[in-house]
Chains A and B, each alone.
Chain A
Amino acid sequence: MMKSKVILLVLATTSIFFAGCKKNMNINDAGNLVLKTVDQDPTLPSISVNGTQLHAETFGNPDSAMVVFLHGGPGGDYRNGLNAKQLAANGYFVVFYDQRGSGLSKRHNKNSYSIQLMFDDLSAVIQHYRTSPSQKVFLFGHSWGAILAAGYINKYPTRINGVIFAEPGGFTSTNLDEYGARTRKLNLFSEGTNDVLYFNQFLTGKENDHEILDYKINISSSYTYQKGNSEGIEGPSPFWRNGAVVLNSLGDISNKDGFDFTTNLNLFTTKVLFLYGELNTAYGLEFANKEAVYFANKQISKINGTGHEMIYFKWNNVYPIVLPYLNSLK
């Protein structure tokens, strides 16, 4: 008798609770927990190239020397790199775009991504904006974007007129793993670790459930700037939306096939610029030298008072180094 009463009580309580909940929002609907992408929101600036739609903006005179900013990730966006638009005032045509499946660009299924496709997108973006064959093109890559820049000039050593590498973190899968090991000092007892792991028990998505998977990466971003982080990240920097599927896809490709973007870098004889943050203890001059070794003509510069997110937090220290470099090649 008592058992029946208890069961009835539990059922009644549960029913009352769920009856009181509104069933009006779905986590898989864009615009609820993540921003809509360019194919879902026509008010966003975009370009259609290479079979996709990319979130993109430009600043400056379209006929000026082009600087293409390549954001980090994979899967990040260019929002925290927008300080670089200041270069437009110095006579550059600055192009920002969210890479395929990243930021506010259109999403695609996991099995559609490849490194070559990312190169092809970059070629298409340059082609889309270039107004003459003589217009010079510079790449400004941050983090993963700098790795992508290295891969691009390794593949096409004559297409680009100069490159800025802001803490790439590995031109080969071996170096990428090494950098990952330097930043992966996981403390199981820390709040920061809980913050990025604990929700996985009740937020799960299928392989191509972009909204929920992107959202999980979005809220995990707090881990990167947790107190004592080895990359010297001061705090949150703005972002629109992360692309989890492209991150997973390119991560799987790296793990499965590896990559080596250094095989032809010796053919790129133009001076390149490496930037590293003073407070990023995982990178530093040692790792910058390790990556710069592939280039005959290079400049390595320390950005004081900041870490991996130097472009957002200490643009005033980045700008005086980047501008003379670009001007020297203009």
Chain B
Amino acid sequence: MKNIKILILAAFSFIVTNKSYAQSINWKNLKSSQKHILHLNTGLDYGVVFGLGYSYQLKSKLPTLLNISYSFPSGNELLGDFKTKIGGQVKLYTVNNFQFSASIYGIYRRYQNPLVRIQNFGSEITGVVGYYKSKWFVAGEAGFDKAIVTNFKHSAKFKEDFPAVKDGWYEPSTGGNFNYGIQTGYSLKKSDITLKIGKLLTQDFKTKPFFPYYLQLGYNLKIGRN
């Protein structure tokens, strides 16, 4: 019966999936003088998740943001599970109010339960095409999150059952997920309120999650001259 419970939970995990994808930005509203952006977000990411981040806008020909972010699920061991990302977003093309941007991130994430501690380094690539006005925007997004290399370290409790388990780094990849969805937002002079919702696919395009959606509510605070 415990396996049935786990199966139910595994299915549920896809209901509540909210990947911490690139922070939504209203490029139309972003001034070149606004060098610093603080991000806050919350949603459902295998449980209730909270995230914060910081972006620095480069002085460059193409509008470019360097980002760093940290997110963690709720629970009583706050440092047990978390995800950090570092990378950047670039606005590549603009045609009237239509804009195309892309982002690439390196990911470090950690997971721990009574049986194992897992660390993973991955990457995430996302493209966003949307219609942007200074007060609001709506865009479509698609991306891929790849788990590149993963480290396993098992607890003494796990090794009671399987003493010969091989701890260490595992490669090739231990997984990957595609995502696609929409993002929208409302902007003020110094802030954006954003919402994104979408769907997930595992990398083989065959494994169908029970309810493969993600959701994120975000807030951006832009610091600098308006």
Q: Does A219 contact B (CB under 8 A)?
A: yes
Enumerate 12 A-B pairs (CB-CB under 8 Å) in ascending A order. A25-B170, A27-B150, A72-B2, A194-B46, A194-B47, A194-B75, A202-B120, A202-B122, A202-B174, A206-B204, A219-B116, A247-B3
The CA-CA distance from A32 to B169 in the complex, in Å, is 11
**Does B99 have its Cβ within 8 Å of any Cβ on chain A?**
no
A17 touches which of B115, B121, B171 (Cβ 8 Å): B121
* Cβ–Cβ < 8 Å partners of B122 in chain A: 202
Q: Which residues of chain A come closer than 8 Å to B106, judged between CB atoms?
A: 10, 14
Whether B133 sits at the interface, judged by CB under 8 Å, is: no
Given contacts A2-B58, A21-B149, A202-B122, contact A222 B115 (CB under 8 A): yes
- How long is the Cα–Cα vector from A222 to B10 in the complex, in angstroms? 14
Q: Once the chains bind, are B175 and A202 in contact (CB under 8 Å)? A: yes
- A236 is an interface residue with CB less than 8 A from chain B: yes
Residues of A near any B CB (own CB < 8 A): 2-3, 6, 10, 14, 17-18, 21-27, 31-35, 72-76, 79, 143-144, 167, 169, 176, 179-180, 183-184, 186, 188-191, 193-207, 212, 216-224, 231, 233, 236, 238-240, 242, 247-248, 251, 308
Residue from A191, A203, A218, A238 having most chain B Cβ neighbours under 10 A? A191
Contact A21 B169 (CB under 8 A): yes
Check A33–B166 contact: CB distance below 8 A.
Answer: yes
B206 at the interface (CB under 8 A from A): yes
Point out the residues of chain B lying under 8 angstroms from A236, CB to CB: 114, 157
A6, B58: Cβ atoms closer than 8 Å: yes
Which residues 31-51 of B have a CB within 8 angstroms of A? 44-48
Please report B residues at the A interface, Cβ cutoff 8 Å: 1-10, 12-14, 16-17, 19, 44-48, 58-60, 64, 66, 73-77, 80-81, 83, 86-88, 106, 109, 111, 113-116, 118, 120-122, 145, 147-150, 152, 157-158, 160-162, 164-166, 168-172, 174-177, 202-204, 206-207
Whole-angstrom CA separation of A163 from B88 in the bound complex: 63
In the assembled complex, the CB of A286 is this many whole angstroms from the nearest CB of chain B, namely: 16
| Given contact pairs A18-B149, A238-B160, A74 touches B3 in the complex (Cβ within 8 A) | yes
- Are A238 and B8 in touch, CB under 8 angstroms? no
- Chain B residue numbers with a CB within 8 Å of A251 are 4, 7
Asked if residues A3 and B58 are in contact (CB atoms below 8 Å), the reply is: yes
Residues of A within 8 A of B118 (CB): 199, 202-203
Q: Is the CB of B171 within 8 A of A191?
A: no
Q: Closest CB-CB distance, B13 to chain A, in whole Å?
A: 4
